[in-house]
Structures are given as C-alpha cells and as structure tokens.
Structure 1
Amino acid sequence: MTGAQEVNSAWRPALSRSVILRHDRVRDTDLLVLPERVVVLRGSAGSVLRLCDGANDVGAIVATLAAQHPGAPVADEVPVFLGRLRAEGWLT
C-alpha cells in the first residue's frame, strides 16, 4: 500500500475536524472541503465517506457497501481507500 496506512477492521473512521463532505449540485459530484483546498471525489467515494461517522467500524462499512454493490471488490478496495485518506490526515 503505497502512501497508505494499515487499516484495522475495528477502526471507526470519521472525517477530521477540518474536513467537510459536501455535494456540489452544479457538478453533481461529492467534494471534500478542506482548509484552502477542495478535493473532487470520483465514483462511489462519497458513499464510502458518508459511512465514516465514527460509529461504523471498517468491517461494518465494508459490509454495508458489499450489500449495496454485490460483486464489487469492496473488501479489498475500501480499506485501502480509507488508509490513503487517513494518511492524508482527512480521516481520524
């Protein structure tokens, strides 16, 4: 995992205090609004981050997404994605 931290399935990710998840109606896409920066999210990234509320652990997030997207490789991809965002400091 280049640039990502190891992710424990019991970790309960939440957006960092300085990060806001917003939906841009004009672009019809989700955004992460950071101090002095905006990150445009692609694909299902917004759906994943909406589950990062500090109450759901990584295992529950993966299970929810697997039920919503049968056959998708969420068990492999979601922990890596969350680890990358944690390494950026966007998730606690």
Structure 2
Amino acid sequence: MSDFDLYQVPNLRRGFRLQWEPAQGCHVLLYPEGMVRLNESAGEILRLVDGQRSVAQIIVDLRRRFPDVQGLDEDILAFIEVAHAQFWLQLQA
C-alpha cells in the first residue's frame, strides 16, 4: 500500500452513497454522474466503511466473517487502494 496505512479511516467521499439495488441484485455506489455496480466482495467491504473503522478494523471484521478465505487481507487492501484512486473514498489519519 503506497498511499495509506492500516490505521487510517476510510469514508465515502461527499456525493457518494452505497445502497443495495434490488433490481441489480447487488450493492451499487451512487454518485451525481452515475453509478458503479459492485461485486459481492466490494459491497461487503464498503458496507463497513463508515468513517469510524480503520482499514485494520475492516480487515479484522471481514476475517471474522470469512475465516476460510485465502488472501483476504490483500484483496481488501487492493480494493481500498483502487477505491481511493478512483476518488470513491477518502482516508483520514
């Protein structure tokens, strides 16, 4: 991870909103210019992005829920890095 550490707290940028979309059968990230359809893993990660939990806490929470998933930490970190680069998330110290 080049841009942030595990103790930073992610939150959705202003104007972005996560919601379950029944017609799509998945979580979506809504923003003024459109919508991003999320896969199941991305939806699970973003559901925990609340401006309170650190990246480390999100990893711990998801490890508890999915103990048998190999490489989970790396997948979470990679997604958060991409979401940050796409300006979906901001990270607070």
Normalising by structure 2, report the TM-score. 0.88
Partner in structure 1 of residue 80 of structure 2: 82
Moved over 2 A (4+): none
The unaligned stretches of length 5 or more in structure 2 are none
Q: Provide structure 1 residue ranges, at least 5 long, that are not aligned to the other structure.
A: none
Match of 2:59 among 49, 62, 76: 62
Aligned residue identity for 1:55: Q
CA offsets per residue over residues 2-47 of structure 1, 9 Å max, x none?
Answer: xxx5331001000001101011111211000011111000122111
For 1:18 and 1:74, locate their aligned partners in 2 and report how far apart those are by CA, in whole Å.
29
Find the aligned partners of 1:34 and 1:74 in 2 and give their Cα distance: 27
Count residues with an aligned counterpart. 89
Relative to total residues, which structure has the larger strand share, 1 or 2?
A: 2
2:3 paired residue number: 6
Report how far residue 49 of structure 1 moved.
Answer: 0.4
Aligned alpha-carbon RMSD (Å): 1.3
